[in-house]
Structure 1
Amino acid sequence: MNAMMRRVVIGTAAVSMALSVAACGKAGDDKADGGSSSTGSKSKTIGLLLPDSVTARYDKFDKPLFEAKVKELCADCDVQYANAAGDSGKQAQQVSTMITKGVKVIVISAQDAAAIKTSVQSAVDKGIKVIAYDRLAQGPVSAYVSFDNEKVGELQGQALLDSLGAKAKPSANVVMINGDDADPNAAMFKAGAHKVLDGKVKIAYEQSGLWKDTVANQKVTAAITQIGAKKIAGVYAANDGMAGGIATALKGAGISGIPLTGQDAELAGIQRIIAGTQSSTVYKAFKPEADAAAQLAVNLIEGKAIDSLATTSLTSGSGDKVPSQLLTPVSVTKANVKDTVVADKLWSVEEICTAEFAKACKAAGLQ
């Protein structure tokens, strides 16, 4: 598949769009953060602020998909982009920059949902509409688009139980590595997983991995020391990035064949599923989420209603009731890789089945 082109197919709909390549440069420079070369002085300017560059999805999928959909819906709209690189202070400064540039709508995936509240208020005070993207930012946001994040946790927990099979007993020790507490989604993933796992297995060790593979590796290494390598039945990891660090820790301790969950359907996660070192992930199709955010942004910038788009509501950590659009996630295991991420052309067989994974791909029916 052409490296500059992806097509994500949801159900029977097939959509092709070109992906742009994020520019490189020094941190803090708008162009370095992937920002448009435009001055941002247009009357229809939208700011897109994403939280980090460690999670592969943001620069590779969310940004180009969002930009393409905005351009499709509004030819004279301009998108200004910045990535916080995991720094909440930097993201606050980026909001200030967007305000100075005169953007009309800010679409933000908050690095820290609580810390960004003041910045959201500042933008709204200037007449700017704010859309919370993927993570529910605090403050007076106009709309929120994401997936049903408690459902994500439920899918993760159920996939772990399914993988354990008859070994899923109240005495079975499960290690639980959650996301960053600054991300409100992490609490919802955790709540959903506990809803499914509690009473079915024993959560013998639970810590935050801060969405970092290195931290997750350290936490699981500590869990192995505390519990014992032979006494761990499975590991819940809240996303694929952390699952990578955990898989390394398990291998180093001589542990194999136990369930390990994930999320985001990252390429490395899919490859581990094929290889058998990760049991599942959760696929949250990026295109419908980016498309939904773009439609909301364009409607707001053009003064149109969003009631038909944001059909439910959620209450944020600041107590604000936010019109919301929630999409449905999908659990992915080795059994349905071909029917999900490959069928949707998120990843091609060629991308998944490199020389290292060729034998496992053949056994899984991908080649």
Structure 2
Amino acid sequence: MAGIYIHIPFCRQKCYYCDFYKTVNTSLQLDFIKALKSEVNLRKNYLNNESIETIYFGGGTPSVLTALQVAEILAVINNEFIVNPNAEITLEANPDDLTTDYLKGIKQAGINRLSIGIQSFQNRHLEKMNRRHDSAQAIEAIENAATLGFSNLSADLIYGLPDLTQKEWEESLDTMFSLPVKHLSAYHLTYHEGTPFYTWLKKGTLKELKETDSVDQFNTLIDRAVANGYEQYEISNLAKDQLYSKHNTAYWMGTKYLGLGPSAHSFDGNSRSWNISSVEAYIKAIAGKNSYFEEEVLSEKDKYNEYILTRIRTKWGVSEEEIEERFGVKNAQYFSEQLSKYKEAGVLQINDRAITLTRKGLFISDEIMADLIII
């Protein structure tokens, strides 16, 4: 069992908060697709013929691709890998790209799950973030996708935005829960160095939301989501009817995956590799048969730390028994010692099967993870 991630680095315009690798130079699109197809061939043995259970188009903005280009990429992957006929195949998309014709085209190409970048249903905040769509387009995109047979729909929201009021946040959630969306990813705004939001924050022209307001918005998110039939299965991810993101869940559970495209990461169980974060350099390196990625072999300490950092975020949690089995008695003893300080703090749910974060623990998850990993 394995997954494939495809990084589509193109955006028609850049959002002011985003630090993922992207470019607005869409004139490189055809050369990029040629290089991407070559990379598929170059790395076809990376996953050792394991069945591909998930394919994920991320970005950037993957919906800048035409439906034919999506089909072309999937055809190459299907030719080089053993893809489960029931594989989850996700495309991240901007609402304004999801016209009826485009939805029909990508569905025919093989996309069976959409992750739609809504971020807010408040037009003033969409404008502040430099998003391309408005609230009406977001609602229309979701409704059209559902009408055309996309039953596995995910959407993103951001809370903790500058000047986001509790009333606006509740209105955005109410709108989201009125729509046929089975999966919600809700993230607190992070000010990443190099983004306009970060620059404006440092200059004082943008003011960060008070922490108490952010906490209130998080609690409102969880309370309203649960009341509407969603299950929080990871710190920032909620799902109805157990329609978890299979692709992201595989990351958290330590499953192998191959990353294709500039800045994409790969993991084979023993090492990690990451592609160069430049579409121009990526295209040139592959054309010239030169190296385009770096690799790191993981130590046992690295593997233990990654297990802690990824699994404790989820509803499946971590297991002392599994730690001893996978990482040895010494690491299990260290984990037990570090865990002891939290046993009476009400931040962890501890039973025979797993150790998970409580609601209280979610607020100090970074602190707990920092204590449990090995420096």
Please, what TM-score do these two structures have when normalized by structure 1?
0.30
Please, what TM-score do these two structures have when normalized by structure 2?
0.30
